[in-house]
Structure 1
Amino acid sequence: MIFTLIGYPVEHSLSPIIQNVAFSALGIDARYFISPVQSEGLERAVSVLRRDDCGGFNVTAPYKIAVMRNLERLDKSAEIAGAVNAVKNEKGVLRGYNFDGDAAVRSLEESGVIVKGKRIVILGAGGAASAVAVSLARKYGDSIKIILLNRTIENAVRLAKKVRPFTPVTVAGLKKEVVKGFLSSAQILINATGVKGEEEIFGVISDEVKNCKDLGLVFDLVYSERTALMDAAFASGAKVIDGGKMLVEQAALSFRLWTGAEPPREIMWNAFSGGLKRNIVLIGFMGAGKTTVAKELARKTGRKYISTDSLAERRAGASISEIFGCFGERRFREVEVQIVREIKNVKNTVIDCGGGVVLNPDNVSALKETGVVVWLYCSEEEILRRTLRNPQTRPLIEGRTPDEILGLYKGRERLYRDCASVRFDTSALSSDDTVSRIREITEATVWEL
């Protein structure tokens, strides 16, 4: 089954890696693509997506509202929000849903900030702003006050009509002369414009935010980078959250809609975090092919390559065999922990990890935050065939019997499984095939509609 994201532009999206990692983790035979669609091609694109092998699709800017006229049915969530961000294909009949609002409310509540009783300023009146405003209004009613600020006042007025039955709402233009007055009393500020702050008006907003005494939270739906608005919020002492958790939550709800399975939220979050850094982390027992695959993957994708074993050797000024021989495995593991901690902030890198890196729980946590963790494994017969060719280069197995080597592997197998989001059996795969499989999951592939 295939799924995709339509919008323009979409090349920056992390939805493919989030969904493809989730499909892989649950063993679901599915693939998620991106489909850049120009406005004149929207109707034709939606028509193509009725095909039998397409289970549904997500919708992003600028089509969350425009796509509605091309769908046969709307879920109540989409009707209320007046926008669609997820569509299910029911045998050629397309039903639209909106998960933005629920995902945004969950992100706000998980931030620890109390929403009830607050004065909330929302920037924007498009599809995302509509879903967020309506969901907040329906959940918190007249215990909150919403102020909608938008460039096009007519769009804000239309959104206010959806909000007003539940919550007091004020509408104003997104202009310098009015922004200051509304922001001075804001307690929660939500940027749902999709604009990262390059425009002049956001300079005014950022300056005002720095001086807002009552502002407790700034929620910027942008997730790909830290914006000027976020910097201003940090300077004011307000709590800041970006759109990352909202993106992952709406992805999880879309996943459940399409597959009927409970979404693996932690794995999806780790995929998102790793996707932001563009890091791929390879783990696995010795002989699984990590080093060969990692170097080839780095070469083909333009990423840097680092090896935790090589970094440990450089740090110790000795080979791994010498470290084990002179200082023992314990000393090597201590150095390894330091290395894993230090590489957490690298970007655009393929990280080739030593086989025992998963023995330390701190390493596991750090690797999950560092990138998309891929476990390469192979059959027991293949483990022995590969490792026993040159046992002298592997100090941990030198002098061990085949049964002892397999015992070592079995003792780590569960740790590898728990650490990884994706796994591949390399027993019958060439290094080129393994690289191709990893790229299918970790890269956004365009499906032209």
Structure 2
Amino acid sequence: MINATTRLCGVIGDPVSHTLSPAMHNAVMASLGLDYAYLAFRVKSTELGTAIQGMKALGIRGLNVTIPHKAAVVPLLDELDPLARDIGAVNTIVNDNGRLKGYNTDASGFLQSLLAASFNPQGKRIVLMGAGGAARAIGFALAQSGASITVLNRKIEMEQAVLLAQNLSRVAKSKVDALELDAANLKTALVKADLLVNATSVGMSPGAGDTPVPAHLLRSSLTVFDVVYAPLETRLLREAAARGCRVISGLEMLVRQGALAFELWTGKEAPLDMMRQAALVALTQGKDGKHSKKAKEPAKVKTSVALIGFMGAGKSSVGRALARKLKKTFVDVDKLIEKKAGKSIAHIFKEDGEPAFRELERVVTAEVARQAGQVIACGGGVVLNKSNTDALRKTAVLVYLKASEGAVRKRVSSAKGKRPLLANIKGAKSIEVLMAQRRPLYEQASDITLDTSRLGIEDAADKIIERLGEYEGFRL
């Protein structure tokens, strides 16, 4: 509850109506019992100086800075962190007794997001669209990582792009090109690119139907990162996934940079999963009055746990261990499907096709979801039909078991005969594409996320039990 001692943080930008930061930060602040509140402030460019003075005068503890103020705010601050000074842009301000210090958590948040998606930029060819504050941070992170970068920007802002390229060249110790963002340059740059980064606002709500890149220029070997997070799946990401590209949503960068800012303000480590889930809820359900009222209702009691995730993440093996430790019934949805059909999943796919399998999966999942006190291992594609996760959510906490692409390849390499979707996959790249296409669905559906890449079965089960203890609605 807000009172006379509550410390205030917030975000300034124009626009800010789309921002998920208040939902994300307030959820974590409340969960950790911190006497903090987080608000969004629309600040026009002509009022930026006044807003920064107001931060001092009102004793606001911290601010995030978003479009279009990340570079403009730099000279208004008392001190800069070395990284922010080198980048020339600030996205986080800390107020220590009236002295304002600027930081840049975008760079680290972006790089962490790339590495979490198993993309190492070292030695890779990158096309970076944009030259604003976000592009500066992203470009700096890529240059420090040893990537080869081409900056593309609108003709009217080419001076900004050239300056960015010059600064990045000094960091990368190799020439960074700056070119006009037009069809010809985009086509040429993308021919040999490994990663495309959209660091512009194109595609952001309310312009969600726009895209900065024609779909026919997107190759399946390309990884596409869109810093835009509202909508969750931009047109660029949707068309890239359809072309077979690995895609990374800007939501991951938002969460990770936000966690770093949270730690600077509070001195507390931010729980990434909780921030991600709060942002997803705000993004997918909206922030109107009905949602706010619903959020205040007591959590419904759930006695089951449903494990979702890609094949090879450990749903069955970890599920059995978890059921044993929780003294609950273990249910394998795929096994129930085979029993109902009277044949293996491989034969269902071969003889009846995937649509028939998905319908069986829907029916069986609905039946399982009506029961209580279970640990449920779901098939990897259960999230493809939202009715499945909606049914499970009524009685179960959904736990997303994620694993790196390397771990998945190792675990499923000898199981192609038992995994029909692998039968037609040629090489590791197709697995990467399928994982990238499903990852946003797993993240959106999950209540808890656990990376099993380096965890044994028993350790993974113990971690889940630990996390369930923090989940308000779960009961043994």
TM range (shorter): 0.5 to 0.7
Aligned partner (choices 169, 173, 180) of residue 180 of structure 2: 173
> Hey, what's the Cα distance between the residues in 2 that align with 1:115 and 1:419?
36
> Hey, what's the Cα distance between the residues in 1 that align with 2:468 and 2:211?
46
> Hey, what's the Cα distance between the residues in 1 that align with 2:286 and 2:370?
27
Q: Which residue of 2 aligns with 1:206?
A: 214
> Hey, what's the Cα distance between the residues in 2 that align with 1:32 and 1:89?
14
Stretches of structure 2 that go unaligned for 5 or more consecutive residues are 1-6, 303-367, 403-440, 449-464
Aligned partner (choices 17, 37, 40) of residue 11 of structure 1: 17
Residue 28 (1) aligns with residue 34 (2) = yes
Q: Which residue of 2 aligns with 1:244?
A: 251
Secondary structure of the residue aligned to 1:28 is: coil
**CA distance change for structure 1 residues 75 and 30 in 2, over 3 Å: closer, same or farther?**
same
- Tell me if structure 2 keeps the 8 A contact 1:308–1:336: no
Residue 164 (1) aligns with residue 164 (2) = no
Q: Which residue of 2 aligns with 1:419?
A: 471
- Tell me if structure 2 keeps the 8 A contact 1:87–1:97: yes
> Hey, what's the Cα distance between the residues in 1 that align with 2:238 and 2:369?
43
Deviation at 1:185, TM superposition (A): 1.8
The alignment's C-alpha RMSD in Å is 4.2
> Hey, what's the Cα distance between the residues in 2 that align with 1:148 and 1:44?
33
TM-score (norm 2): 0.61
> Hey, what's the Cα distance between the residues in 2 that align with 1:342 and 1:164?
43
Deviation at 1:304, TM superposition (A): 13
- Tell me if structure 1 keeps the 8 A contact 2:300–2:473: no
Q: Which residue of 2 aligns with 1:38?
A: 44
> Hey, what's the Cα distance between the residues in 2 that align with 1:219 and 1:363?
22
Percent of counterpart pairs with the same letter? 32
- Tell me if structure 2 keeps the 8 A contact 1:275–1:372: no
> Hey, what's the Cα distance between the residues in 2 that align with 1:41 and 1:68?
15
Secondary structure of the residue aligned to 1:66 is: coil
Deviation at 1:227, TM superposition (A): 2.0
Q: How does 1:348-359 map to 2 (within 5 A)?
A: 357=395
> Hey, what's the Cα distance between the residues in 2 that align with 1:242 and 1:218?
9
CA-to-partner distance for each residue in 1:208-240, whole Å, 9 max, x for gaps?
A: 433x36x43000111112222212321332100
Residue 126 (1) aligns with residue 118 (2) = no
> Hey, what's the Cα distance between the residues in 1 that align with 2:192 and 2:226?
18
2:133 counterpart letter in structure 1: G
- Tell me if structure 1 keeps the 8 A contact 2:399–2:446: no
Structure number with greater Rg is: 1
Q: How does 1:365-444 map to 2 (within 5 A)?
A: 369-370=444-445, 417-420=469-472
**CA distance change for structure 1 residues 307 and 135 in 2, over 3 Å: closer, same or farther?**
closer
> Hey, what's the Cα distance between the residues in 2 that align with 1:183 and 1:232?
15
- Tell me if structure 2 keeps the 8 A contact 1:137–1:166: yes
**CA distance change for structure 1 residues 331 and 164 in 2, over 3 Å: closer, same or farther?**
closer
Deviation at 1:345, TM superposition (A): 4.3
**CA distance change for structure 1 residues 65 and 421 in 2, over 3 Å: closer, same or farther?**
farther
Stretches of structure 1 that go unaligned for 5 or more consecutive residues are 281-295, 310-328, 374-412, 423-449
**CA distance change for structure 1 residues 115 and 186 in 2, over 3 Å: closer, same or farther?**
same
CA-to-partner distance for each residue in 1:148-186, whole Å, 9 max, x for gaps?
A: 000121111110121111323111001123221112221
Secondary structure of the residue aligned to 1:114 is: coil
**CA distance change for structure 1 residues 201 and 253 in 2, over 3 Å: closer, same or farther?**
closer
**CA distance change for structure 1 residues 415 and 190 in 2, over 3 Å: closer, same or farther?**
closer
Q: Which residue of 1 aligns with 2:151?
A: 148
Q: How does 1:310-321 map to 2 (within 5 A)?
A: none
**CA distance change for structure 1 residues 414 and 4 in 2, over 3 Å: closer, same or farther?**
same
> Hey, what's the Cα distance between the residues in 1 that align with 2:133 and 2:383?
41
After the TM superposition, list the runs of 4 or more consecutive aligned residues in structure 1 that deviate by more than 3 angstroms.
197-203, 296-309, 329-332, 334-338, 341-346, 360-373, 413-417
**CA distance change for structure 1 residues 27 and 235 in 2, over 3 Å: closer, same or farther?**
same
1:13 counterpart letter in structure 2: T
> Hey, what's the Cα distance between the residues in 2 that align with 1:251 and 1:146?
26
- Tell me if structure 2 keeps the 8 A contact 1:368–1:419: no
CA-to-partner distance for each residue in 1:20-40, whole Å, 9 max, x for gaps?
A: 111112111000000011122
Deviation at 1:125, TM superposition (A): 0.3
Indicate the structure whose relative CO is greater, using CA pairs within 8 Å and at least 6 residues apart: 1
Secondary structure of the residue aligned to 1:333 is: coil
Residue 111 (1) aligns with residue 117 (2) = yes
- Tell me if structure 1 keeps the 8 A contact 2:400–2:446: no
**CA distance change for structure 1 residues 421 and 115 in 2, over 3 Å: closer, same or farther?**
farther
**CA distance change for structure 1 residues 344 and 257 in 2, over 3 Å: closer, same or farther?**
farther
Aligned partner (choices 64, 67, 73) of residue 58 of structure 1: 64
Q: How many residues align?
A: 336
> Hey, what's the Cα distance between the residues in 1 that align with 2:186 and 2:15?
29
